[in-house]
Chains A and B, each alone.
Chain A
Amino acid sequence: MAKIELTRSSFIKNALKSRYPQLAVFIVMLVGYIFAILAGFIGTPVGSHNFSIVFVWIAWWAILILVAVPFFGRGWCAVCPIPLPGEWLQRGAILTPPDKRPKWLNLRVPKMFRNIWLQNISFLLLALFSSVLLTTPNITGIVLAAMLFAAIGLSAIFERRAFCRYLCPVGGFIGLYSQVAPIELRIKDKQVCVKCKDKPCYRIPAGGNGSSAGYGCPWDVFPGGLTKNTYCGLCLECIRTCPHDNIAVNLRPFSADLAKPSTRMDEAFKAFIMLGSAMIYAGVLLGPWGVFKDAAYNVGASAWFIYTGMFLSIIFGILPGLFTLGLLGTKSNTTLKHRFASLSTALIPLGLMFWVAFSLSFVLINASYILAALSDPLGLGWNLFGTANTAWQPMLTSILAPAQTLALVGGLIWSARTAQKAASEVKVSSIPVIVYCFATTSIMLWLLL
């Protein structure tokens, strides 16, 4: 299956190049985000009836993990409101492209942090407090506000979207999983880029030259060199900036990027973090074992420290350890580290499907809260759309189990094939990885069904 260039359609190309449609979505998202922060602080402390919990952890999460990531890769990043205030202040404008140097310090992010380890840590921090975060509106309000102010602060010190690229806990896994999506942004013709002198698609203009149409990539990615989705935030800036109209958005087969497996350790561990946390959440939150839930919720109690210890040892010890044991049996002329990193890309489609299966459960059970929270977002007794008294009613529970089986077995097949491709690149057998995937999938099936 070949690529289909979507931007060949002038309707699509103009819709993406024009700043107005994106701005309209930005304004809606930003207003909604700020409202969610307020709702978290002054709305009802009851999570299921508070806009911030319902619209962040049920509605937004459902759309993100079930639609946006699998089908649009970093599509959420394209419309996310978190970087906007900082970026607008950095640019000194909302719409108009630069004719002057960007404001503030514009330092380069130090090399030590130019990886996704900070994102791994920030995701883990949220994950360890997730029981409190998912159920307590003012904690969600604090986290949302903290991310917004962190983004603004980082934009004041560093160039481009430093928060998005190096700190955002969500961006870490969206980037990893975007490799499986059927959408990509790539250049059309490499020779055009070779001949292009200024590269305004990337360079932030120093002397005030640079393209008058757009900014250099806020994601610190050189579009001319893009071969994978992982770090391109689909902000569409380069499409506007490129003076040679050499950038396109394409439709392509799922997980095309995994044909060139990454060998970075930070990404490898991200795959284990996501796989492990999906399994732990399925067991702790959706299982019948009250002792784990208490341990996860009572932050600061000794049970919580034990829970944290177990969480971290599963993610950093048991899961990667068993994976490595499987690899030890294989012989190859590449280093163990190289094999570990490239074969762990098999866990990317698997992890995504683990999260899809897990999320389907709590989304279908609790989606009815969305209607109630829409009509009475703050718990003040409003009934804006007449749906404030919608009773809690799980939806479609009869298709839940089949859907989860489909997702998990489908993910297993997908990851097995990914393992094959990655294994043949390093000339080892893919069997240990496939067995590992089968084992973890069986555990996830047992936890969810």
Chain B
Amino acid sequence: MKRSELLSRILVITGIIIAIGAPLYFWTSTPLIRARMPENGGWSPNVVHANVGEPLRLKLTSDDVVHGFAVGLMDMQSVDILPGKVTEVTLTFDKPGIYTYYCTRWCGPNHWRMRGTIEVNGSPSDPEPALSEVERVPLYVSLNLDIDAPHDAPVVPAQKPSAIRGQELIPNSPFLQSSDYYRSNSPYQAFNDLSNISLTEPQRWDVIAYLWQSNITPESLANGKRLYAQNCAACHGENGAGDGVFADDLAKKGESSMQTMEGAMEMMMQAPVDFTDPKRMLGASPALLQGKILRGGMGTGMPMWGSIFTEEQIWDLIAYIYSFQFEYQGAIP
């Protein structure tokens, strides 16, 4: 065989081997966490292992649409995961336990189901107990609230209560101004507790609005607004009216499930709650709302957020949700 023929054969075969081998090699040696819409499988893998104190380097990519990544109950900025591109994240855990990572950019109606777990082994650097989902018993449990029972307020205001007007009518009952009272009572209950005071009904509602505002800070309201826009508005509506972009899909699913399943009709109703409905909202205490947010909707489309939001974030959200019912002082940034 001539030298040129031999050389050309070697070149061709080498070229083919590299063209096949190089991609395969790099593909198998690059572990990626692939993000897909839940309809297409969600996170893959959806369980990751790590050790306390060791940095966990993750490479994330999206196989379809824009996703995001954050770890619940951890103080971190979420990162975007863009289709076809790789995002690198490094996490370090102080305490062992099971952490939840979740998608932070809406990727379809089942976006909230897109969660995975990080199992962190090892002993913590200080002898504190391992992380648990909620550090102490949530308020609705200690109050023995049935968060699935109806909670309509028998009396509702004729106009939207205003904290600005309420401020001028402050009663001087000290017990109304404790945050425990605020958290454990619905606006209607507080309204009722004020019945012995000589104010008209609309005035009393205004006082309740002011009471509610005095138990929250502008920062928490702003934080709640941001959390609401990112996590709740897609179903509950940008103006809280239960008319978000996924509301129709959820209602349809609810109708079909009502036809095929027996059981409590209230549980199966899937249309997202309308936060502008005074009957429903004024009969709900912050503790009840916290319960709903923590535990989710048990078969409805309402996600459970216990492993994602900190307690502070949930109170902030609740503060914002009441702003659909009450006119607060100052604009919410």
What residues of chain A have their CB less than 8 Å away from a CB belonging to chain B?
A: 20, 23, 27, 30-32, 34-35, 38-39, 42-46, 48-50, 88, 93-96, 376, 378-382, 388-389
Contact = CB atoms under 8 A, between A and B. Distances in A.
Interface string B3-25: 01100110110011011100110
B84 A46 contact: yes
Contacts of B5: 93-96
Interface stretch (B61-69, B118-126, B197-205, B288-296): B61-69
B15 A30 contact: yes
5 contacts: A20-B4, A46-B62, A380-B26, A381-B30, A388-B85
Contacts of A23: 8
B86 interface: yes
B59 A42 contact: no
Contact of A43 (B9, B12, B20, B23): B23
A380 B86 contact: yes
A405 B88 CA distance: 46
Contacts of A27: 11-12, 15
A223 to B, nearest CB: 25
B20 A94 contact: no
A31 B23 contact: no
A160 B29 CA distance: 42
A382 B5 CA distance: 36
Given A39-B23, A95-B8, 18 more contacts: A30-B15, A30-B19, A31-B19, A34-B16, A43-B27, A44-B83, A46-B64, A93-B5, A376-B85, A378-B26, A379-B61, A379-B85, A380-B27, A380-B30, A381-B59, A381-B86, A382-B26, A388-B85
A23 B63 CA distance: 37
A379 B19 contact: no
B32 interface: yes
A31 B83 contact: no
B136 interface: no
Interface in B159-212: none
B63 to A, nearest CB: 5
A48 B65 CA distance: 12
Size category of the binding interface on chain B: 20 to 34
Nearest to B11: A27
A30 B23 CA distance: 15
B12 A38 contact: no
Contacts of A39: 23
Contact of A38 (B20, B84, B88): B20
A27 B14 CA distance: 10
Nearest to B4: A95
Given A38-B24, A95-B8, A380-B30, A31 B18 contact: yes
B49 interface: no
B109 to A, nearest CB: 18
B61 A381 contact: yes
A45 B15 contact: no
A45 B30 CA distance: 16
A100 to B, nearest CB: 13
A49 B32 contact: no
B97 to A, nearest CB: 29
A311 to B, nearest CB: 27
A381 to B, nearest CB: 3
Contact of B16 (A31, A50, A95, A380): A31
Contacts of B4: 20, 95-96
A49 B84 contact: yes
B64 A42 contact: no
Contacts of A20: 4
A45 B24 CA distance: 16
B23 A35 contact: yes
Interface hub of B15, B24, B64 (most chain A Cβ within 10 A): B15
A382 B84 CA distance: 11
A379 B11 CA distance: 27
A34 B19 contact: yes
B83 A49 contact: yes
Given A38-B24, A49-B85, A94-B5, A44 B63 contact: yes
A44 B62 CA distance: 8
Contacts of A42: 23-24, 27
Nearest to B86: A381
B138 to A, nearest CB: 41
B12 A30 contact: yes
B23 to A, nearest CB: 4
Contacts of A34: 16, 19-20
B59 A45 contact: no
A88 B62 CA distance: 41
Given A30-B15, A31-B19, A44 B24 contact: no
A44 B20 contact: no
Contacts of B64: 45-46
Interface in B205-261: none
Contacts of B24: 38, 42
A95 B11 CA distance: 12
Nearest to B26: A380
Interface string B26-46: 110010100000000000000
Nearest to A41: B23
Interface hub of B5, B16, B84, B86 (most chain A Cβ within 10 A): B84
A381 B23 contact: no
A96 B85 CA distance: 45
Contacts of B20: 34, 38
Interface hub of B1, B20, B63, B85 (most chain A Cβ within 10 A): B85
B14 to A, nearest CB: 9
Contact of A94 (B12, B18, B62): B12
B5 to A, nearest CB: 5
Nearest to B30: A380
B63 A381 contact: no
B61 A44 contact: yes
A46 B35 CA distance: 12
10 A-B pairs with least C-beta separation: A49-B84, A381-B86, A46-B84, A34-B19, A46-B83, A38-B23, A31-B15, A35-B19, A94-B8, A31-B19
Nearest to A28: B15
A137 B4 CA distance: 37
A380 B32 contact: yes
Nearest to B65: A46
Contacts of B27: 42-43, 378, 380
Contacts of A48: 83-84
A20 B27 CA distance: 33
A96 B5 CA distance: 6
Contacts of A46: 62-64, 83-84
A240 to B, nearest CB: 14
B37 to A, nearest CB: 12
